[in-house]
């Protein structure tokens, strides 16, 4: 248990049997009336975001979420197999938990796996990953970085927009949060 004064971003709460992660919070002390805490909560399993207000000092139940470093090994049917980098235990993670992160993952990829009572909740990837471009239209003479963009397919199958001068078999850095091109990798 914690009070609303202990809320911070990333804290996972257990509200009515569901797990909610605190995305944003704001302590409000109006001129009239009691203080309260305005929060934005994200459902850990479904990803739904809701706004919720708590009275100041109210007790809220926190969930014990274990976040550890894992390494992605391989696909096994509909599961993704991850290995705990400290104990070398292997964990099967369902496709639904991996979700959109699948388009940025190669075998050997480092990730943080969050579990609650041994059940995988979500996966956090590094802010950026380095991936090879397998196909993009050829650039034309005169195409420079100040020009537009073109679609490119990565080795994971994901498509991103890259500058016109990028060619096939170029390693690029990609932002895993929004899929944007960050630059070439030498």
* pLDDT tens string 82-110: 999 999 999 999 988 888 888 999 999 99
CATH architecture of 128-184: Beta Barrel (2.40)
Listed in order, the ranges of the chain carrying CATH 2.30.30.30 are 2-60
* pLDDT tens string 128-141: 999 999 999 887 66
Q: What is the pLDDT of residue 166?
A: 84
Backbone angles phi, psi at 100, to 5 degrees: -70, -15
Q: What is the pLDDT of residue 36?
A: 93
Helix (H, G, I), strand (E, B) or coil at 129: strand
Q: How confident is the model at residue 145 (pLDDT cuts 50, 70, 90)?
A: low
Q: How confident is the model at residue 64 (pLDDT cuts 50, 70, 90)?
A: confident
Average pLDDT of every residue of the chain: 88
Percent of the chain with pLDDT over 70: 95
CATH code at 66-124: 2.40.50.140
100 class by beta-carbon count within 10 Å (0-12 exposed, 13-18 middle, 19+ buried): exposed
Q: What is the pLDDT of residue 68?
A: 92
Token reading at 56: 């100041």
CATH architecture of 2-60: Roll (2.30)
Span 149-169, mean pLDDT?
A: 89
Listed in order, the ranges of the chain carrying CATH 2.40.50.140 are 66-124, 128-184
């Amino acid at each position: 248990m914690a009070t609303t004064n202990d809320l911070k971003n990333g804290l996972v709460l257990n509200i009515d049997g569901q797990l909610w992660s605190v995305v944003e919070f704001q302590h409000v002390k109006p001129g009239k009336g009691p203080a309260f805490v305005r929060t934005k909560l994200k459902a850990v399993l479904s990803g739904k975001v809701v706004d919720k207000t708590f009275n100041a000092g109210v007790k809220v139940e926190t969930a014990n979420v274990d976040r550890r470093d894992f390494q992605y090994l391989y696909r096994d049917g509909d599961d993704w197999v991850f290995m705990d980098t400290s104990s070398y235990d292997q964990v099967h993670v369902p496709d639904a938990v991996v979700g959109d992160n699948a388009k940025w993952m190669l075998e050997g990829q480092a990730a943080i796996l969050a579990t609650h009572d041994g059940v995988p909740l979500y996966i956090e990837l590094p802010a950026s990953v380095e991936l090879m471009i397998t196909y993009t239209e050829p650039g034309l003479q005169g195409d420079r970085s100040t020009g537009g963009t073109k679609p490119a397919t990565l080795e994971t199958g994901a498509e991103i927009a890259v500058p016109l001068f990028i060619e096939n078999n170029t390693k690029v850095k990609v932002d895993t949060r929004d899929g944007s091109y960050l630059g070439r990798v030498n």
